[in-house]
Structure 1
Amino acid sequence: MLDTVKAISRDYIPYTEGKTVASNDKFYKIFSKELPTAFQNALQGSEELLIKGCIAQPNHRYPKIPLVTFMDARVTNSAKSGYYVALLFSEDMKRILLSLNQGFERPIGKKLNRTEKFRTLKDRACSVREELQHLINDFSTYEVSADLGASLERGKGYEAGHIIGKSFEVNTLFSWSQIDKYLVSLLSIYRVLVEYYGSTLLTTIGIETEDSFQKNIQKAHQCYLPDGPLPKPSPNQFSNTGSRRRNVAVSSISLRNSGYLCQLEPAHKTFKSKSSGENFVEAHHLVPLSYQDDFTFNIDVPENIVALCPTCHRLLHHGGGKELIEAIEALFVIRKTGLEHRGLHISREQLISLYI
């Protein structure tokens, strides 16, 4: 593999400069077939990954920054959208960059001008890095900026979309294991993000409104959470609105566990959600996330999230008096054991005091 990387570094520019791609060209074969196959064979547990060389289609100009992408099809199948791991060559071919990166084409699902696009990519990369700091023990060993020497918009998009990674000077590489160590580590991080957030990662950490949060829950990918108390999130995990960031994938677990029924009044039927196909209910944190600092462990867990019809949900936010207290007491009975299992200890009286 290292010999191939060095050959690309040495020969790519003189071979491709000013040329259009042909299906029998040397570098088209390397990126479309040889490298993806070699990575598929070399990486253990890579069967679920879609590994693609991005080199341009025949009759199009060779890109200045070729790359190989490692993608989970549940998240994306293109470097233009979602998030993925990539091995990119710098424009001068002297460096390679392993990068956890994100799609650059329409980063928030709509057309933006160049300045808005790059700003969105950079802001989102920063937010994901904040999320990763409590998930990665050796976070400081990764580089948070990318310099590919890009002169064109696509290359600058890769630079702006870079979340974390590691760069290497090709002429200093003496063993493939130098690269493989970080590639395997980045892919492990990627798998955690996919399992925890699925396709919602980049929307979860964007500008969040209550409506967009509830909407994203309906289509969230199923995630896995370890049993028992979970680590408290870092104190800088706030959304762009200043509130603590909520994980839609975690909230969706609670909705599924409830059978998509209101946990205060199961007879309250609403309508069929066009995203989930189930009775529409909303997620509500019984202990509000604004009280996270009062607890030793993470309170953004399914046991602290109740499914409510929109009417009962509004009661908890805008109601008062006996009606509100009775609703809180009923939900406390349902959730008390689960909260304690997650290391979250609160009395009925303490919970009521958070609302009145």
Structure 2
Amino acid sequence: MRNNAKESVEKKALIDVSKYKVDGSPGKGNWAEIPWIGVFDKNITTSAEKGYYIVYLFRADMSGFYLSLNQGWTYYARTYGDKEAREHIRTVAAGFKDSLKSSLADFSFDEIDLKSDKKFAVGYQLGHICGKFYSKEYVPDDLQLANDLRNLIGVYRELTGIVGSRSFEDIVDRLLKGDDVDDIEDEEYQSEVIEATPSITPKEPQKRSKSTIKHGKEVWIRNPKIAKESLEKSNYLCEIDSEHKTFTSSITDDNFVEAHHLIPMGNQDEFKNSLDVPGNIVSLCPNCHRRLHHASVAEKEDSIKALYVERKDDLKDYGIEISLEDLFGYYK
């Protein structure tokens, strides 16, 4: 392992060394408690101390090893102290797990057990996002190991795409404040909406927008100009309760509201006409918007019903027909 593990991983898994750094630490002189070999996206991190990366982790008793998408424990320990770091790294790992949309049939979200209670072993265990265990009695051949690594690199790329241009410090801070990754992405869209010039959309069925592949799944593109058109038509009032005042936006000089697709864009495949139309985009205060995304079904049913009754005719004008029961189904 000391002599050729790095080169072996690079060669057998066909690692692009211009993009990824492969490094390891069996320990200097004596073996480390938890020997590791890491694969680091150079745009994210080149160190096991901070960021997120792929790592082979060997159990302390050498009974097996893990292929793990993991995080740098040292950053958490230095930033928060060991006690809080344990809670925080676990919280961020859970947030990353929830954000992954691709099929992970080959990998597990289960906790890992490195057979050690030492600080770094515990840090690795808490920072684990997803991965795979190999018992020393059943280590697969090099081809299977290489395929597993390449597949996990695909998941690594997905997570990198989800995090986007945000720094690791920022994404950690936001997840610890209770935001989820989808909320953070939606904030970027809302910023684009506020700054957009409103479109003028004929009240008739519209062609579906283009789709793209993002985070390993098909995503339908939302046009912020159409959302801005809908916000203006609502006079920047919350359509669940017009008395819900927030603050005056420095850009629009009106009450701050957010755009929400009543029928989620993720269901565009089920409709022949575009869902990205003013008739399907409602204006909500941030609190009502979060409630529709995160509250229990019972808590948001009345709001969904009220919006449906208000928008049912508009939806038909845009060639969109849906029952209230089916709409409820999208929010479960």
TM-score (normalised: structure 1): 0.54
Corresponding letter in the other structure for 1:41: K
Q: How many residues align?
A: 240
Partner of 1:233: none
The match for 1:63 among 32, 37, 41 is 32
Alignment gaps of 5+ in structure 1: 1-7, 9-26, 213-238, 266-296, 309-314, 332-339
CA drift at 1:191:
1.5
Does structure 1 retain, via aligned residues, the 8 Å contact 2:92–2:172? Answer: yes
| 1:112-131 alignment runs, 5 A limit | 112-131=80-99
Measured on the aligned residues, the alpha-carbon RMSD in Å equals 4.5
Does structure 2 retain, via aligned residues, the 8 Å contact 1:74–1:198? Answer: no
**Aligned partner of residue 75 in structure 2, secondary structure:** coil
Q: For 2:88 and 2:253, locate their aligned partners in 1 and report how far apart those are by CA, in whole Å.
A: 44
Q: For 1:98 and 1:83, locate their aligned partners in 2 and report how far apart those are by CA, in whole Å.
A: 13
Partner of 2:247: 318
Does structure 1 retain, via aligned residues, the 8 Å contact 2:112–2:128? Answer: yes
CA drift at 1:53:
1.1
Q: For 2:196 and 2:68, locate their aligned partners in 1 and report how far apart those are by CA, in whole Å.
A: 43
Seq. identity, %: 18
Partner of 2:178: 240
Q: For 1:195 and 1:350, locate their aligned partners in 2 and report how far apart those are by CA, in whole Å.
A: 26
TM-score (normalised: structure 2): 0.57
Partner of 1:303: 223
Q: For 1:302 and 1:208, locate their aligned partners in 2 and report how far apart those are by CA, in whole Å.
A: 24
| 1:71-86 alignment runs, 5 A limit | 71-86=40-55
**Aligned partner of residue 91 in structure 1, secondary structure:** coil
Q: For 2:74 and 2:102, locate their aligned partners in 1 and report how far apart those are by CA, in whole Å.
A: 28
Does structure 2 retain, via aligned residues, the 8 Å contact 1:75–1:198? Answer: no
The runs of at least 4 aligned residues of structure 1 exceeding 6 Å deviation read none
Partner of 1:105: 74
Does structure 2 retain, via aligned residues, the 8 Å contact 1:251–1:305? Answer: no
CA drift at 1:199:
6.1
CA drift at 1:81:
0.2
Distance 1:69 1:102, change over 3 A: same
Alignment gaps of 5+ in structure 2: 199-217, 229-235, 238-245, 260-267, 289-332
Does structure 1 retain, via aligned residues, the 8 Å contact 2:67–2:149? Answer: yes
CA drift at 1:84:
0.1
**Greater mean alpha carbon deviation, residues 177-186 or residues 78-87:** 177-186
Does structure 2 retain, via aligned residues, the 8 Å contact 1:84–1:101? Answer: yes
1:136 equivalent to 2:103? Answer yes
Does structure 2 retain, via aligned residues, the 8 Å contact 1:127–1:205? Answer: no
The match for 2:23 among 27, 30, 52 is 52
Q: For 1:319 and 1:77, locate their aligned partners in 2 and report how far apart those are by CA, in whole Å.
A: 43
Q: For 2:280 and 2:138, locate their aligned partners in 1 and report how far apart those are by CA, in whole Å.
A: 64
Distance 1:157 1:305, change over 3 A: farther
Deviations 1:20-78 (A, max 9, x none): xxxxxxx3xx2xxx11112112223523111111234x5x6531111100001111111
CA drift at 1:123:
1.2
CA drift at 1:180:
2.6
| 1:273-292 alignment runs, 5 A limit | none
